[in-house]
Amino acid sequence: MLIGLNEDHIMVQDTARKFAVDQLAPIAADLDQGACKNAFLSNLKSMADLGFMGLNVSSDYGGAECGVIAFSLAITEVARGCAASAVTMSVTNMVAELIQAIGTEEQKREHVTNICSGEYLAASFCLSESGAGSDPAGMKTKAIQHGDHWILNGSKMWISSAEYAGVFVVWAVTDPDRPKGKGITCFLVRADAPGITIGKPERKMGQRGSSTASVSFDDCRVPESAMLGRVNEGYRIATTELAGGRIGIASLALGLGGAAMDVARSYSLERKQFGQAISRFQGIQWMLADHYTELEAARLLVLNAAYQKEEGRPFAKEASMAKLYASEAANRACYSALQIMGGVGYTEELPLERYARDVRVTSIYEGTSEIQRMIIARELLREVA
């Protein structure tokens, strides 16, 4: 059980907070409207320079080696400044961690070092497809071995950072005759590989600064050395190795929910109705009390999941609990913050409407709330089976 933060945790948290306030927050609104793209990309490189693209990665490959708790704390602070930057940071860290965990030494030296240094501004997972989102085992993308190469064909959807990623972790069916999910293999594909096409960025409700696009593979040839892990073990990688991403999104949601409530709390002290500040009304006080309590509970769930992972213990259930609760609590917090702010919160004069749009997807990506409930229930029943 994590009782408190140590000096290294606090240093990372303070550094992330300062960077978010000084560099991310000032351009977040413009980035949301399609401007400041160069500044956004420059900030990604700066985050790599700070060590934020490999927080739980060994220093042997250029990582900061700060651990999972530090990763969670940094994501929360970055999200308070710019959710689009936070999701890019979260996914990129997970790619680096995945390659570090199961990649060959050559793969680590080539890709993890480039991620941590900022040579790759970002990295992406290519898992979801139009008919394989919550059910990734139903994917149709295929990889056929041809001599000492593999040839990939298919299309992936909803790929975060596809536009500026340096490397993709791609899942493809390599043995269609095996039972569903048993014939899938994972590959590392550089963004400049022949046969890759990046689609037009999706027009999204929120987190607009983070490019989300389709990625298509048309006779995309990759060498045998591009295989990540063993042949036909890709589905296991998807279901076990990526649970850490839920800690990242839970941390992101926590940052958004906290930022929204902080704006609403300050506003409640200034806004006057019926001759007094609205903070004097019990209805407002109870909204503040309930949501800050929920966010504190979410924070403890997130830190517990991060602690379990950092200690090398099973953490799938804890990560799903944290992701489920934090994303739902943050959505409720943003909704109530808008209610407290009234009409002004609904305008672009303040960041509340952006927080509300940005937070909505946290209960969808990296596994919907419904999928998290399935995972939690599965683990609970497994404990007593």
Cα 81 from Cα 305, distance rounded (Å): 23
pLDDT tens for each residue of 155-167: 999 999 999 999 9
Nearest to 337 by CA among 275, 292, 377, 293: 292
Q: Residue 99: CA atoms inside 13 Å, Cβ hemisphere, count? A: 35
Whether the predicted pLDDT of 132 surpasses 80:
yes
Fold exhibited by the domain 7-120? Butyryl-Coa Dehydrogenase, subunit A; domain 1 (1.10.540)
- pLDDT value of residue 140: 96
Radius of gyration of the chain (CA): 21
Q: Sorting pLDDT into bands at 50, 70 and 90, what band is 62?
A: very high
pLDDT tens for each residue of 176-189: 999 999 999 999 99
pLDDT tens for each residue of 296-332: 999 999 999 999 999 999 999 999 999 999 999 999 9
pLDDT tens for each residue of 232-279: 999 999 888 889 999 999 999 999 999 999 999 999 999 999 999 999
pLDDT tens for each residue of 63-101: 999 999 999 999 999 999 999 999 999 999 999 999 999
Whether the predicted pLDDT of 1 surpasses 80:
no
If you classify domain 243-384 with CATH, what class do you get? mainly alpha
Nearest to 166 by CA among 208, 213, 115: 115
Whether the predicted pLDDT of 57 surpasses 90:
yes
* Average pLDDT score, the chain: 96
Cα 80 from Cα 99, distance rounded (Å): 28
Residue scoring higher pLDDT (292 or 133): 292
181: three-class secondary structure by DSSP: coil
Residues catalogued as catalytic: 366
Parse the chain into domains and list their residue ranges.
7-120, 125-238, 243-384
Q: What is the DSSP string of 342-359?
A: GGGGGSTTSTHHHHHHHH
Residue 12 parent element (H or E)? helix 7-19
pLDDT tens for each residue of 192-211: 999 999 999 999 999 999 99
State the amino acid at position 3 in one-letter form: I
- The percent of residues above 70 in pLDDT, for the chain, comes to 99
The neighbour count for residue 337, using CB atoms within 10 Å, is 27
- pLDDT value of residue 318: 97
- pLDDT value of residue 385: 86
The CATH H-level (homologous superfamily) assignment of domain 125-238 is Butyryl-CoA Dehydrogenase, subunit A, domain 2 (2.40.110.10)
